[in-house]
Amino acid sequence: MYAFSRGIGVLILCVLVGRAGAGDLNPPVGPITPTMKTLVEVEPRIAVTAVNTPGDADSVFKITSPGSYYLVGNVTGAAGKSAVEIASDNVTLDLMGFDLIGVGGAVSGVSVDADLHENIVIRNGRVRDWPGYGIGLGPNARNAVLMDLHIVNNFGGVVGGTVFARCIARGNAGGGGFFGGAQFTDCQAIQNGAVGYTASATFERCLAQSNSGTGFASSGSSTFLSCTAVGNFGAGFSCGVTSTLTDCVAAGNTSGDGIAVGDHSTVTGCVSRSNVGRGIFAGSGCVIDDCQAVGNTGDGIAVTEGNITGCTSRSNGSDGISASSRSIIQRCTALSNSGDGVQVNSGSRVVDNTCDGNGPAAATGSGVHVLGNDNRVEGNNCTNNDVGFDIAGGANLIRGNFARNNTGDPCNNYVVVAGNWFGTLTNDTTLNTDKNPHANFGPDCIP
């Protein structure tokens, strides 16, 4: 019985080992074939070489057929020539981490020929020192995708192209960083000799820094998410109508507004500080929400017509928040601006704002300054300004506000011309004697 059990055990073990370790000793059916991969299978792409992609009069190499191409080393240009000319649709050009290097009199690192070409991909390398654009696609490339490129020290960075990801244009001269394009993600334009980005596009997490012109110049509708324009020698963001900026920063731009948007634009959660111009300027029908404007030389936030909510405007060189007409300014804070805290012209509502310390220098600054008529000024708190409420126009409704210590002169708490609906001014600190629900409060000096 013991021997029988041991025999069964050995048999099971042999079966298990056999299954686990041994290959099939019988050859496969059919003729014998090699098992090594062919060269094409190892590298199915086409090397950019004089044999595969011979150049022409204006190119060192020229791609004339669809396919996937790659560099096998750096390519240096020659006078009158681009490094690689693309003359076909459906081309992918992989720089393989190599450089396209310009020389005097050469053209571009990559160019397209005179025909329209679609669906081009250029990626993974450096394009530098070209006397033209580093990548000169122009209008003849449609649906071009550029990824993982350093484009440096050319006349211009890139002209043309559609989608850009992780591209850096740095130190390009008068042509600027990026000229054209529809979508930019994680790109940078730094120290270019003109505008950083000239494109009406969608930008996400992009940087424009220390360019000689505007950081982002978008004449049409554009969308910006978490982008930064800092230290440009022009405006930070200059955008067309129906643009959207969310969570962006404009700082230290030295010639123009930090953020300027056209009509019907939305600016949310943005910071604009220390620009030589206005912090945020918006045209008509705009929404400015939860933004900060600090230390700009002009107005902190200025709109032609808009809805400004929950913003802070501080220490700007002119008014904190300014609206021409038909605007709503609510729940904002305007502090220590050289001009007025909040200024409106006509047809607007100024509601529940805090204005303190405006007009600290020689010029007069009011907490709320109303120039025209048909405005409602309600529930605001104005303290320590030159004037609390300066209602210079007629036919406005002023009610439920509080003013104190505006230049220490009670008469400066409310300066209201005749012809307004002005809630009874009361200085009753017990709030018991005046039953007028429209009363304005503050140390008394009836205007």
Region near Ca ion per CB under 5 A, out of 33-41, 83-91, 221-229, 325-333: 83-91
Q: Is 372 one of the binding residues for Ca ion (CB under 5 A)?
A: no
Q: Is 319 one of the binding residues for Ca ion (CB under 5 A)?
A: yes
Q: Is 356 one of the binding residues for Ca ion (CB under 5 A)?
A: no
Region near Ca ion per CB under 5 A, out of 22-30, 70-78, 203-211, 381-389: 381-389
Q: Which of 44, 45, 56, 139 binds Ca ion (CB under 5 A)?
A: 56
Q: Is 298 one of the binding residues for Ca ion (CB under 5 A)?
A: no
Spatial distance between the Cα atoms of 405 and 173, rounded to a whole number of angstroms: 54
Going from the C-alpha of 279 to that of each of 6, 234, 301, the distances in angstroms are 90, 13, 6
Nearest approach in angstroms of CB 344 to Ca ion is 10
Region near Ca ion per CB under 5 A, out of 63-71, 79-87, 134-142, 175-183: 79-87
**Please, which residues have CB within 8 angstroms of residue 198's CB and are 6 or more apart in sequence?**
176, 178, 179, 180, 217, 218
The candidate with the shortest Cα–Cα distance to 93, out of 122, 113, 67, is 122
Strand bridging mode 163-170 / 145-152:
parallel
Nearest approach in angstroms of CB 427 to Ca ion is 24
Q: Which of 359, 367, 388, 400 binds Ca ion (CB under 5 A)?
A: 359
Q: Which is nearer to Ca ion, 334 or 425 (CB)?
A: 334
Q: Is 386 one of the binding residues for Ca ion (CB under 5 A)?
A: yes
β-strand partners of 446: none
Q: Which is nearer to Ca ion, 99 or 319 (CB)?
A: 319
Q: Which of 58, 263, 289, 434 binds Ca ion (CB under 5 A)?
A: 58
Q: Which is nearer to Ca ion, 249 or 282 (CB)?
A: 282
The phi and psi torsions of 71 (rounded to 5 degrees) equal: -80, 155
Q: Is 339 one of the binding residues for Ca ion (CB under 5 A)?
A: yes
Element (DSSP H or E) covering residue 19: helix 2-21
Q: Which of 153, 243, 343, 420 binds Ca ion (CB under 5 A)?
A: 343
Q: Is 55 one of the binding residues for Ca ion (CB under 5 A)?
A: no
Q: Which is nearer to Ca ion, 129 or 390 (CB)?
A: 390
Spatial distance between the Cα atoms of 356 and 386, rounded to a whole number of angstroms: 10
The phi and psi torsions of 21 (rounded to 5 degrees) equal: -115, -35
Nearest approach in angstroms of CB 332 to Ca ion is 15
Residue 20, SS3 per DSSP = helix
Q: What is the DSSP string of 379-410?
A: S-EEESSSEEEEE-SSS-EEES-EEE-STT-G
State the residues that interact with Ca ion by CB under 5 A: 56, 58, 85, 319, 339-340, 343, 359, 386
